Amino acid sequence: MSQVVIAMSGGVDSSVAAALLKQQGYEVVGIMLRLWSEPAAHDDSCVDLVTENKCCSEESVYDARRVAQKLDIPFYLVNVAAPFQETIVDFFYDEYAAGRTPNPCLRCNRTIRFTLLLERALALGADYLATGHYVRVDDDPATGLRRLRRGVDQQKDQAYMLHLLNQAQLRHAMFPLGELTKPAVRALAAEFGLPVAAKAESQEICFVAGNDYRGFVQRYAALRAARAGTAAPADVPGLAPGPLLTLAGEQIGEHKGLAYYTVGQRKGLGVTSAEPLHVIELDPARNAVIVGPAAALAKASFTIREVNYPRGSVPTAPFAAAVRIRYKATEIPAMITPLPGDRAQVDLASPQRAITPGQAAVAYGGTTGDEVLCGGLIEALAC
């Protein structure tokens, strides 16, 4: 009998995944990760900020334990707060300080769930690590290589979030919900009698209190300085005011800090114009926010960094794919040209609005049309 470790969150998806594995005859072990939480703080009104990490709150731990008891499977809570802070929270802060808009869940899936947790699962003697993601993994009949494919439910598909996985990780990965829709999963939760069947989902960043990431960046600057034994910076990178510039370089105002803006933003610029202005670019070198008309947001070419090819080998020539520039974006036909240093050039068939540095661009294709071919973080946009 194969042993499977299921990453539990206390939510309906991982709970149903655990129940399905148990029903299929696997020896199932539930593990929940204790992640980093911001120390208690309060805002300017002295109102306490709830800083409990949403992925491992007391309620979530309680719910996961109840599900494990219902399924009669072992349950463990594993503390990975320190590596989570070093690899995920520091990255999040650094990206905002550099004028980019990060997606910390992408990095967490790669470095925490499918590295630290996978290593723990294998050390326990498990054959697989399972999660509640809506994706599919199978073997290419022609090559035997593992393929990462979109989930059947196009509304819930999370292959975009797992594009960073490699062959070694995919060999030990199981995704019981890949062939299911969300309504079907809800129905199964009720059928299994799981206590979380009606539990709502959270879409917020797990370690940011109140989803106030700008306030978090301000507070975290002091936390990181204290950890390093240095004084907190007077001007926090990403939060220092600077010039608000037109595309022609004319200063028309002052911004509050790069972290307060994202590409495509229209509201909250603090200036008036005959034509609506949008954020076109964040320029950390000049600490400037560049604004312009909506038409200037449309771009067709950009580069990506930290590119991962789930099949393991880097193509030697440009290849066609369908590219998604954000998690929920429509896929656009494109040509991908691999570049030296884990980078690639992406040329879209048609310009798209608000391509945002720091977000991921993921390419799909293959013989099935839904395989993740590669993905990376959006870096530089063509002028």
**CATH code of 284's domain:** 2.30.30.280
195, 334: one domain: no
* pLDDT the model gives residue 124: 92
Claim to verify: residue 253 and residue 346 sit in the same structural domain:
no
280 shares its domain with 306? no
383 is catalytic: no
d(CA 108, CA 114): 8
pLDDT string in tens for the chain (383-residue length): 799 999 999 999 999 999 999 999 999 999 999 999 888 655 554 444 556 787 888 999 999 999 999 999 999 999 999 999 999 999 999 998 888 989 999 999 999 999 999 999 999 999 999 999 999 999 999 999 999 999 999 999 999 999 999 999 999 999 999 999 999 999 999 999 999 998 988 777 888 877 788 888 888 888 888 888 887 777 777 888 999 999 999 999 999 999 889 999 999 898 988 889 999 999 998 999 999 999 999 999 999 999 999 999 999 999 999 999 999 899 999 999 999 999 999 999 999 998 999 999 999 999 999 999 999 999 977 65
| Domain match, 182 and 43 both | yes
Considering the entire predicted model, what is its pTM? Answer: 0.92
CATH number at residue 364: 2.40.30.10
Same domain for 276 and 362?
no
Per the annotation, the verdict on 108 as an active-site residue is yes
Among the candidates 296, 311, 341, a domain finishes at: 296
**Residue 164: inside a domain, yes or no?**
no
Is the Cβ–Cβ distance between 253 and 244 less than 8 Å? yes
Domain-ending residue, one of 296, 316, 334: 296
Catalytic-role residue among 55, 56, 105, 108: 108
Judge if 247 and 369 occupy the same domain.
no
Same domain, 290 and 318: no
Q: Tell me the Ramachandran region of residue 360: left when phi exceeds 0, alpha when psi lies from -120 to 50, beta otherwise.
A: beta
> For the chain, how many structural domains are there in total?
3
Mark whether 284 and 340 lie in a shared domain.
Answer: no
| Distance of alpha carbon 183 from alpha carbon 206, whole angstroms | 24
**Side-chain half-sphere exposure of 281, counting CA atoms within 13 A:** 20
Q: Which one of the listed residues 55, 56, 206, 374 is annotated catalytic?
A: 206
pLDDT of residue 224: 85
Same domain, 96 and 187: yes
pLDDT at position 168: 96
CA dihedral 87, 85, 103, 367 (to 10 degrees): 40
69: CATH: 3.40.50.620
Q: Do 65 and 198 belong together in one domain?
A: yes
Are 88 and 192 in a shared domain? yes
pLDDT on residue 48: 47
Distance CA 265, CA 249 (A): 19
Domain range spanning residue 316? 297-381
Q: Is residue 28 part of a domain?
A: yes
